[in-house]
Amino acid sequence: MTSLNIFRKVEDYFVSRLLMLKLESHELIAKLIVLLLSSFLFISMVFLIMFFIGITFSILLGELLGNTMYGFAVTSAFYVFILFILIYFKEKLIENPIMDIVIRNLNKDSEDEEDE
Protein backbone atom coordinates (compact mmCIF):
# COMPACT_ATOMS: atom_id res chain seq x y z
CA MET A 1 0.00 0.00 0.00
CA THR A 2 1.24 3.40 -0.83
CA SER A 3 1.11 6.27 1.54
CA LEU A 4 -1.38 7.99 -0.78
CA ASN A 5 -3.82 5.07 -0.44
CA ILE A 6 -3.44 5.10 3.32
CA PHE A 7 -4.03 8.85 3.39
CA ARG A 8 -7.21 8.47 1.29
CA LYS A 9 -8.52 5.70 3.52
CA VAL A 10 -7.87 7.78 6.64
CA GLU A 11 -9.54 10.75 4.98
CA ASP A 12 -12.55 8.61 4.02
CA TYR A 13 -12.74 7.29 7.56
CA PHE A 14 -12.79 10.79 9.06
CA VAL A 15 -15.37 12.04 6.55
CA SER A 16 -17.59 9.03 7.30
CA ARG A 17 -17.13 9.52 11.02
CA LEU A 18 -18.06 13.22 10.78
CA LEU A 19 -21.18 12.38 8.77
CA MET A 20 -22.14 9.77 11.36
CA LEU A 21 -21.66 12.28 14.20
CA LYS A 22 -23.77 14.80 12.30
CA LEU A 23 -26.60 12.27 11.90
CA GLU A 24 -26.38 11.25 15.55
CA SER A 25 -26.53 14.89 16.67
CA HIS A 26 -29.57 15.48 14.46
CA GLU A 27 -31.25 12.47 16.03
CA LEU A 28 -30.51 13.73 19.55
CA ILE A 29 -31.80 17.20 18.71
CA ALA A 30 -34.99 15.73 17.24
CA LYS A 31 -35.53 13.61 20.35
CA LEU A 32 -34.97 16.62 22.58
CA ILE A 33 -37.47 18.71 20.60
CA VAL A 34 -40.06 15.94 20.78
CA LEU A 35 -39.48 15.61 24.53
CA LEU A 36 -39.83 19.37 25.01
CA LEU A 37 -43.00 19.60 22.94
CA SER A 38 -44.66 16.65 24.63
CA SER A 39 -43.69 18.04 28.03
CA PHE A 40 -45.09 21.43 27.05
CA LEU A 41 -48.39 19.88 25.98
CA PHE A 42 -48.59 17.84 29.18
CA ILE A 43 -47.84 20.86 31.37
CA SER A 44 -50.38 22.94 29.43
CA MET A 45 -53.09 20.37 30.05
CA VAL A 46 -52.21 20.15 33.74
CA PHE A 47 -52.32 23.95 33.93
CA LEU A 48 -55.75 24.10 32.32
CA ILE A 49 -57.11 21.39 34.63
CA MET A 50 -55.68 23.14 37.69
CA PHE A 51 -57.09 26.45 36.46
CA PHE A 52 -60.64 25.15 36.21
CA ILE A 53 -60.36 23.20 39.45
CA GLY A 54 -59.16 26.43 41.10
CA ILE A 55 -62.11 28.40 39.77
CA THR A 56 -64.53 25.69 40.85
CA PHE A 57 -62.97 25.48 44.30
CA SER A 58 -63.01 29.28 44.63
CA ILE A 59 -66.70 29.50 43.81
CA LEU A 60 -67.52 26.61 46.16
CA LEU A 61 -65.45 28.13 48.95
CA GLY A 62 -67.07 31.51 48.28
CA GLU A 63 -70.51 29.94 48.68
CA LEU A 64 -69.44 28.40 52.00
CA LEU A 65 -67.90 31.66 53.26
CA GLY A 66 -70.80 33.80 52.10
CA ASN A 67 -68.81 35.91 49.63
CA THR A 68 -67.29 34.79 46.33
CA MET A 69 -64.41 37.22 46.78
CA TYR A 70 -63.33 35.41 49.96
CA GLY A 71 -63.28 32.11 48.11
CA PHE A 72 -61.03 33.53 45.40
CA ALA A 73 -58.81 35.19 48.02
CA VAL A 74 -58.30 31.91 49.91
CA THR A 75 -57.61 30.00 46.68
CA SER A 76 -55.15 32.69 45.54
CA ALA A 77 -53.36 32.54 48.89
CA PHE A 78 -53.10 28.77 48.53
CA TYR A 79 -51.54 29.13 45.05
CA VAL A 80 -49.10 31.77 46.31
CA PHE A 81 -48.10 29.38 49.11
CA ILE A 82 -47.51 26.61 46.55
CA LEU A 83 -45.47 29.07 44.44
CA PHE A 84 -43.20 29.90 47.39
CA ILE A 85 -42.68 26.20 48.07
CA LEU A 86 -41.76 25.62 44.41
CA ILE A 87 -39.36 28.58 44.44
CA TYR A 88 -37.72 27.40 47.66
CA PHE A 89 -37.32 23.79 46.49
CA LYS A 90 -36.87 24.66 42.79
CA GLU A 91 -33.66 22.71 42.27
CA LYS A 92 -34.84 19.59 44.09
CA LEU A 93 -38.43 19.50 42.79
CA ILE A 94 -38.07 20.90 39.26
CA GLU A 95 -34.56 21.21 37.85
CA ASN A 96 -33.00 17.90 38.91
CA PRO A 97 -35.95 15.69 37.89
CA ILE A 98 -36.21 17.40 34.48
CA MET A 99 -32.47 16.99 33.87
CA ASP A 100 -32.69 13.34 34.88
CA ILE A 101 -35.61 12.73 32.51
CA VAL A 102 -33.85 14.43 29.58
CA ILE A 103 -30.59 12.58 30.17
CA ARG A 104 -32.38 9.26 30.65
CA ASN A 105 -34.40 9.69 27.45
CA LEU A 106 -31.39 10.75 25.39
CA ASN A 107 -29.28 7.86 26.67
CA LYS A 108 -32.07 5.27 26.48
CA ASP A 109 -31.71 4.68 22.75
CA SER A 110 -27.93 4.53 22.87
CA GLU A 111 -28.18 1.83 25.56
CA ASP A 112 -30.72 -0.07 23.43
CA GLU A 113 -28.32 0.06 20.46
CA GLU A 114 -25.46 -1.27 22.63
CA ASP A 115 -27.61 -4.21 23.77
CA GLU A 116 -28.32 -5.22 20.18
- Domain ranges across the chain: 27-115
Q: What is the pLDDT of residues 31-90, one digit of tens each?
A: 888 888 988 999 999 999 999 999 999 999 999 999 999 999 999 999 999 999 989 988
Predicted TM-score of the model (pTM): 0.62
Q: Strand locations in 4-113, DSSP E?
A: none
> Amino acid letter at 40?
F
d(CA 67, CA 8): 83
Q: Contact 32/102 with Cβ under 8 angstroms?
A: yes
Q: How far apart are the first and last CA of the chain?
A: 35
